[in-house]
Homo-oligomer: A and B are copies of this chain.
Amino acid sequence: MQSARVLSIGEFSRLTHLSVRTLRRYHDAGLLEPARVDAASGYRYYTGEQIPTAQVIHRLRELDVPLTDVQRILRSSDPGTRAALVADHLHRLESGLERTRAAVASLRRLLQPEPAAVDVELRRVPATTVAAVEDDVQLRDVLGWYAGAMAELDAVVPEPAGVPGGVYENELFETGRGHVLVHLPVAGPPSSGRVHPVTLPAVELAVTTHVGTHDDIDVTYGELGAWVVEHLLAVAGPVRETYLVGPRDTADPAAWRTEIGWPVFQVAPA
State the A residues within 8 Å of B (CB): 2-7, 11, 13-17, 19-20, 47-49, 51-52, 54-56, 58-60, 62-63, 79, 82-83, 86, 90, 93, 97, 99-100, 103-104, 106-107, 110-111, 113, 115, 170, 173-175, 218-219, 221-222, 225-226, 228-230, 232, 234-235, 267, 269-270
Sample (6) of A-B pairs whose CB atoms are under 8 Å apart: A4-B269, A5-B232, A7-B229, A15-B222, A15-B225, A48-B229
Known: A52-B222, A58-B218, A62-B100. A235 touches B110 (CB 8 A): no
User: How many copies make up the complex?
Assistant: 2
Provide the bound-state CA to CA distance between A7 and B14, in Å.
56
A110 proximity list for chain B (CB < 8 A): 52, 55-56, 59
The answer to whether B56 touches A107, judged by C-beta atoms less than 8 angstroms apart, is yes
Residue of B nearest to A7 (CB): B229
Counting chain B CB atoms within 10 Å of each CB, the highest count among A51, A219, A269 belongs to: A51
Known: A15-B222, A58-B218, A79-B113. A229 touches B107 (CB 8 A): no
The answer to whether B55 touches A222, judged by C-beta atoms less than 8 angstroms apart, is yes
Residue of B nearest to A102 (CB): B62
A106 proximity list for chain B (CB < 8 A): 59
